Amino acid sequence: MTQSTPAIRLAGATKAFPDAGGGSFTAMRDVTFDVAPGEFVSVVGPTGCGKSTTLSLISGLEPATAGEVAVTGTPVAGIPSTVGYMFQQDAVLPWRTVRDNVALGLRYRGVSKAEAREQAQGWIARVGLDGFERYYPHQLSGGMRKRVAMAQTLITEPEIILMDEPFGALDVQTRELMQAELLRLWAGSKAAVVFVTHDLTEAIALADRVVVMTAAPATVKSIVAVDLPRPRMVDEIRLQPDFLTLYREVWHALREEVEIARARGAVRG
């Protein structure tokens, strides 16, 4: 597309963790792909292959062992302020109300309490939680807590949004609803998204490109462009013939890796 600086650049990024035996375990090896500004990229791969590690490196939560990781043209060292991250598990503060949770990122950035709360109110409305400002997270359903997390992530207006199976723990109907909400909110931003999931339907329905990872250590197996028109209706798009063709293509790339991962799992188990 454009020749401008990519929002995210991974070039030969490798991550090894020390293991219990004193050796090291390579979670990802030689991962290379770029994400353009405003682009939505899904990452799929067999269970436990190290997809999430990619996000850890981009977010700066973990340093890369080797290779290059850059965000908006700057090599990652520490946590870039332009990054938002939505986790698989509940990560909102249980001891803060919805409003204070949403306002958190602004408060950390030194915005005054009144100003932060006012902005939070707007985001609470945007994610459909009007009337729940004073609730604590444990008083909300799983889907509502995800909405809080979404508002909490988006309020800082990140240029890059990292999502690690954010809807994995939700039931199917809530998940589809949240996918639609995500697309709607993302359309209003210019953020680049990296969305890790093991659900191919979700990956294709949301993304501009799908990155297929190999079994551990993870590396890029293939990248499939999803040229379905936007705006998309996530609950209908999967019934289209184009979608099925894409699904088949991604599944073919993935199947081999899933089988490898399964065989290893069987040996270990």
Catalog residues that contact another protein under the rule CB under 8 A. 59, 61, 79, 81, 83-85, 87, 89-96, 104-105, 107-109, 136, 138-139, 152, 156
Q: To which residue do tokens 């503060």 refer?
A: 93
Q: Closest distance between another protein and the C-beta of residue 71, in Å? A: 13
Nearer to another protein, 79 or 233 (CB): 79
How far is it, in rounded angstroms, from Cα 33 to Cα 39?
A: 13
- In sign, the C-alpha dihedral spanning 194, 200, 202, 205 is positive
Strands 8-18 and 24-35: antiparallel
Q: Closest distance between another protein and the C-beta of residue 173, in Å? A: 25
**Tokens representing residue 217 in the block:** 């250590």
Nearer to another protein, 186 or 243 (CB): 186
User: Residue 46: which of 243, 266, 259 has the closest Cα?
Assistant: 259
Q: Closest distance between another protein and the C-beta of residue 91, in Å? A: 4
Nearer to another protein, 70 or 148 (CB): 148
* C-alpha separations of 94 from 100, 138, 214, 259 in Å: 11, 7, 36, 39
Q: Closest distance between another protein and the C-beta of residue 221, in Å? A: 27
Q: Closest distance between another protein and the C-beta of residue 83, in Å? A: 7
Distance of CA 65 to the CA centre of its chain: 22
Nearer to another protein, 164 or 176 (CB): 164
Is residue 146 within 8 Å of residue 164, measured between CB atoms? no
Nearer to another protein, 121 or 222 (CB): 121
Nearer to another protein, 89 or 240 (CB): 89
Nearer to another protein, 14 or 152 (CB): 152
SS3 readout for 93-127: CCCCCHHHHHHHHHHHCCCCHHHHHHHHHHHHHHC
Q: Closest distance between another protein and the C-beta of residue 60, in Å? A: 9
Q: Closest distance between another protein and the C-beta of residue 120, in Å? A: 13
